[in-house]
Structure 1
Amino acid sequence: MSRDTVSSLPPIPGVRERRLVGVNGLSVRILEAGYETPGRPAVLLLHGFPEMAYSWRKVMGPLALAGYHVIAPDQRGYGGTTGWNEADTASFRTHAYARDALGIVSALGLSSVAAVVGHDFGSMIAAYCTLVRPDVFRSLVMISFPFDGPPTIPFDTADAPRPPTPVSLDAQLAALSPPRRDSMAFFASPEANADMLHAPPGLHAFLRAYYHVKSADYAGNHPHPLSTGSAAELATLPTYYIMDRGVGMAATVAPDMPSPAAIAANLWLSKADLEVYAHTYARTGFQGGLNWFRCHTGDIGRTEIELFAGRTIDVPAGFISGTADWGTYRKPGALERMRTKTCTRMKGVQLIEGAGHWTQQEQPDSFNAVLLDMLT
């Protein structure tokens, strides 16, 4: 099926699907709720990987009932949004996504949104939206991944001796026994797309296993703060984050495929919901989304991001995650730096019981209550 042959999503009560043409070179599919009443405060929801706007299906109705105009796009490289070229890796850098978000707001005739809410890599995009255009994105809620600020630039080095080149984290992980690899580096690698798209058990089974191991349903998730961030300490994380070197993501998660009984009992990700994701990724592949990881872990987007070194986020900000989500602590010290330094108007950090990485899908009632409290 052609990437441009986009089928509609299953109906979601109170939510409409529409298309915005000419947004930063894209034709963007959005889901929209609470649009019937003009003048409502708007909330922009930015999904993570490997997801799409559909991941907000349990959030949009309650936000609309609370009086918000809710907008959830399929981001660049995902779902029903078209016009992107996966061969143009640089077009997937963080600021391109932030520019997309600005274009969506503008296309809808809005001068600002009350909040931008981002999950997973969308948390990074949402944070940069507020960093760069706080006049447009008036508050921020990050989910799963805390944002600890732009990278720093070396200071007062003109007359200082040149420091030795540090050993890269990738090399440190490779030197362990057995050798390991950060999943971020795997997602940035040339083999990642084919590994997941053509997983031996099939795409549907791969996604079921991947969503499972990062959820609260997986018994191996017991996240806690890391003290040093050394390669040896990082290697204590589950293998879906710090992988066995030479083993792809499909083979990493396959042994933890839930049983048929567990799948049947899953109330947060039904077979029909999973089929929406599987059908979509069979059409688009993963490479568009994976290109952001190439930019984020490499040199393509780093210099552009460093332009904002030293800047803080000065709009009201909050952070939500699940108690079983390792994403909260995967970058050592990031949560505390976000709370005490990066965000100058931090409203709070809330960890939701019974939720893993897919917080708003796993525990929507608790999530919606916390989110609405942070939006007020």
Structure 2
Amino acid sequence: MTSLPDIPLPSSIRSRYVENINGLTMHVLEAGFETRGRPCVLLLHGFPELAFSWRKVMPALAQAGYHVIAPDQRGYGRTTGWSAEYDGELAPFRLTNLVRDALGLVSAFGYRSVAAVIGHDFGSPVAAWCALLRPDVFRAVVMMSAPFAGPPKLPFDTADKPAPRAADDPVHRELAGLPRPRKHYQWYYSIRAANADMMSARQGLRDFLRGYYHHKSANWKDNQPYPLKSWSADELAKLPTYYVMDLAKTMPETVAEEMPSSAEIAANAWLPDAELAFYVSEYARTGFQGGLQWYRCGTSGAFDAELQLWSGKTIDVPSCFIAGRQDWGTYQRAGAVEAMQSSACSAMVGCHLVNGAGHWVQQEQPGEVNRLLLHFLEQTVRVQPS
């Protein structure tokens, strides 16, 4: 790994490796490491991102007195020890094992507990499950861009009226049968061809990622989200094509239709070409399958029974939700953001939508995200036992 190029980071962030973390050698970005005894904050990225996505957040948290740790999660970047063969074992990528990765990492750094775990996109459910399963370690949680509606429910009151057998969700057949046939991106990401589609994108990997990040950002002016009424084909078809795709198209073909102009790319201050180039170089080296395995764990239903062990359990540590106001991710699963606030989290102290941000909220509007995070930490660290 010593031959890999340097990461374009602020001088206050360092890159390092930590061995023997649940079978992984984890690549970690770290800030606030200069003095010992600081409270720790753990940052968990999403797809298709890396620890690098926190580069604009880490210095502010460190400046406020925190030791900030952001790993490349299992399946991503410079972390090694995982295998993403499509026909290989999925179990290492299931949510409970991702929590074990996070727990092992903070323990390796010598922490019995952390002030907060903060997750974005697919890192959001990992952070939520960290707080749900080990509230003694993860004493507060911030979920970003992906609301947490709670653990899957166990069948209830079925002794005399048995529940129907689990079957394929009919919504997928209904989506395919619409006048404009569609498919859900998570199920597309679960097919064998998805990784190859992206790695061999006709427009090239760089333009594919540029188009993908653009399409889901506030820069794409058609991102004007609103709540959906139900998990149904007619409602899901209202989502942009990066979520509910045209049936015959790949993801590279989907985002190519909304490729930003040269002028728009030049004006993009939140992801200039030099920073995009790092994402491109890392995914060119690793591919996307490591991240896609996470989607397959969910769409397969293979680990639902394990997660039902915590059916009805709530997140009882202080919690907060932050997303871009122009992010459809808040509403892509009907009722999730409402369930998060009303039933899944018993101590939610804030739900914030940030103006001028789409899905990549901490990259698009880092100043406001940092303000919200620091305010949340000031509120919660004060009341945590030492």
TM-score grouping bracket, smaller chain normalisation: over 0.9
TM alignment of 1:217-228, pairs within 5 A: 217-228=219-230
TM alignment of 1:129-140, pairs within 5 A: 129-140=130-141
Deviation at 1:162, TM superposition (A): 4.8
| Residue equivalent to 2:375 | 373
| Residue equivalent to 1:344 | 346
Q: 1:261 to 1:99 in 2, by over 3 A?
A: same
| Residue equivalent to 1:233 | 235
| Residue equivalent to 1:55 | 53
| Residue equivalent to 1:193 | 195
Q: For 1:290, give the aligned amino acid.
A: L
8 Å Cα contact 2:176-2:183 kept in structure 1: yes
TM alignment of 1:106-125, pairs within 5 A: 106-125=107-126
- 2-structure distance, mates of 1:295, 1:168: 19
- 1-structure distance, mates of 2:166, 2:268: 48
Deviation at 1:297, TM superposition (A): 1.2
| Residue equivalent to 1:307 | 309
User: Matched residue of 1:20: which SS?
Assistant: strand
Q: What TM-score do the two structures reach when normalised by structure 2? A: 0.94
Name which of 22, 28, 33 aligns with 1:30.
28
Q: Which deviates further from its counterpart, 192-201 or 174-183?
A: 174-183
Deviation at 1:307, TM superposition (A): 1.3
- 2-structure distance, mates of 1:9, 1:257: 26
| Residue equivalent to 2:382 | none
- 2-structure distance, mates of 1:229, 1:59: 34
User: Matched residue of 1:243: which SS?
Assistant: strand
| Residue equivalent to 2:282 | 280
8 Å Cα contact 1:13-1:61 kept in structure 2: no
Q: 1:144 to 1:11 in 2, by over 3 A?
A: closer
| Residue equivalent to 1:149 | 150
8 Å Cα contact 2:9-2:55 kept in structure 1: no
User: Matched residue of 2:257: which SS?
Assistant: helix
| Residue equivalent to 2:90 | 89
- 1-structure distance, mates of 2:144, 2:267: 26
Query: Is there any run of 5+ residues in structure 1 with no aligned partner, and where?
Result: none
Q: For 1:341, give the aligned amino acid.
A: S
Residue by residue over 1:210-243, the C-alpha shift from the partner in whole angstroms, topping out at 9 and shown as x without a partner, is 0000000001101011123321011011010011
- 2-structure distance, mates of 1:305, 1:41: 30
| Residue equivalent to 2:355 | 353
Q: Which deviates further from its counterpart, 350-359 or 366-375?
A: 366-375
The reply to whether residue 74 of structure 1 matches residue 72 of structure 2 is yes
8 Å Cα contact 1:183-1:243 kept in structure 2: yes
8 Å Cα contact 2:74-2:98 kept in structure 1: yes
User: Matched residue of 1:181: which SS?
Assistant: strand
| Residue equivalent to 1:256 | 258
8 Å Cα contact 2:237-2:244 kept in structure 1: yes
Q: For 1:261, give the aligned amino acid.
A: A
Deviation at 1:110, TM superposition (A): 0.7
Deviation at 1:170, TM superposition (A): 1.4
Q: For 1:56, give the aligned amino acid.
A: W
Name which of 302, 317, 320 aligns with 2:319.
317
- 2-structure distance, mates of 1:52, 1:139: 22
User: Matched residue of 1:348: which SS?
Assistant: strand
Q: For 2:174, give the aligned amino acid.
A: Q
Q: Which deviates further from its counterpart, 350-359 or 186-195?
A: 186-195
Runs (4+) of structure 1 exceeding 3 A deviation are 3-8, 161-167
8 Å Cα contact 1:6-1:80 kept in structure 2: no
Q: What TM-score do the two structures reach when normalised by structure 1? A: 0.97
Deviation at 1:6, TM superposition (A): 4.2
Deviation at 1:178, TM superposition (A): 1.8
Query: Is there any run of 5+ residues in structure 2 with no aligned partner, and where?
Result: 379-386
Name which of 313, 326, 329 aligns with 2:328.
326
Residue by residue over 1:176-214, the C-alpha shift from the partner in whole angstroms, topping out at 9 and shown as x without a partner, is 122211111111111110111110010000000000000
8 Å Cα contact 1:93-1:300 kept in structure 2: no
- 2-structure distance, mates of 1:187, 1:90: 17
Coordinate RMSD, CA, aligned = 1.4
Q: For 2:43, give the aligned amino acid.
A: L
| Residue equivalent to 1:12 | 10
- 2-structure distance, mates of 1:50, 1:165: 31
Percent identity (aligned): 55
Residue by residue over 1:22-50, the C-alpha shift from the partner in whole angstroms, topping out at 9 and shown as x without a partner, is 10000000000011121111100000000
- 2-structure distance, mates of 1:178, 1:104: 46
